[in-house]
Chains A and B, each alone.
Chain A
Amino acid sequence: DVKVTQSSRYLVKRTGEKVFLECVQDMDHENMFWYRQDPGLGLRLIYFSYDVKMKEKGDIPEGYSVSREKKERFSLILESASTNQTSMYLCATQLGVRYGYTFGSGTRLTVV
């Protein structure tokens, strides 16, 4: 089974801090995604990547950036954390279009 590991389960950060959320997969999946999940809003796509050094904006990229220097690692960066970025952040991988997703266990980020 594919394993997707997110570095932290819970994080508490202060407003204005730079925050790094890491996601590592142990299979050769091409596609990797960062979502945030908020009550009543479902999953919303922040950024995705379909190859090393490739990235594309999703639905809500504002306030975020990403890095994919190696195929197995996809990092989400909050340049200057704000309280409205308090959320559950989910990383997912996908072998290719029409294949199922594998999600990480999520990082619950609280910005105070």
Chain B
Amino acid sequence: EDKVVQSPLSLVVHEGDTVTLNCSYEVTNFRSLLWYKQEKKAPTFLFMLTSSGIEKKSGRLSSILDKKELSSILNITATQTGDSAIYLCAVEAEGGSEKLVFGKGTKLTVNP
């Protein structure tokens, strides 16, 4: 059975800290790994990583895919209170949308 495991489940840091969120997966016919940020009600897309694009960066956020270890990390540097959210990892497999598997997320709280 395909699965995505995120760790830690929750994390509390102070503004300015650097955090690393982890995502590991077991999926048949891996196609891509996606990171989302969910505040309040709906997730918003952050990055998509594939075999041809294993590292992405946007501002203070960056992500790396390790296909050998079947995992990915999401780094956030110089955290701000606005980074407080649930960060979701999802893995897409060959075969269509029904194969998108989400992890349960990491709840990040950034205190001032």
Contact = CB atoms under 8 A, between A and B. Distances in A.
Interface of A: 31, 33, 37, 40-45, 48, 50, 56, 58-59, 88, 90, 97-98, 100-101, 103-106
A50 B45 contact: no
Contacts of A97: 38, 40-41, 86
A103 B86 contact: no
B100 interface: yes
Given A31-B41, A48-B42, A43 B102 contact: no
B42 A103 contact: no
> Which residue of B34, B96, B105 has the most chain A CB atoms within 10 A of its CB atom?
B96
Main secondary structure of the interface of A (DSSP, over half): strand
Interface of B: 32, 34, 36, 38, 40-45, 47-48, 86, 96-98, 100, 102, 104-105, 107
A102 to B, nearest CB: 10
A45 B43 CA distance: 8
A106 B100 CA distance: 12
> Which residue of A48, A101, A105 has the most chain B CB atoms within 10 A of its CB atom?
A101
B86 A105 contact: no
Contact of B45 (A31, A44, A106): A44
A98 B41 contact: no
Given A42-B45, A48-B41, A98-B86, A103 B97 contact: yes
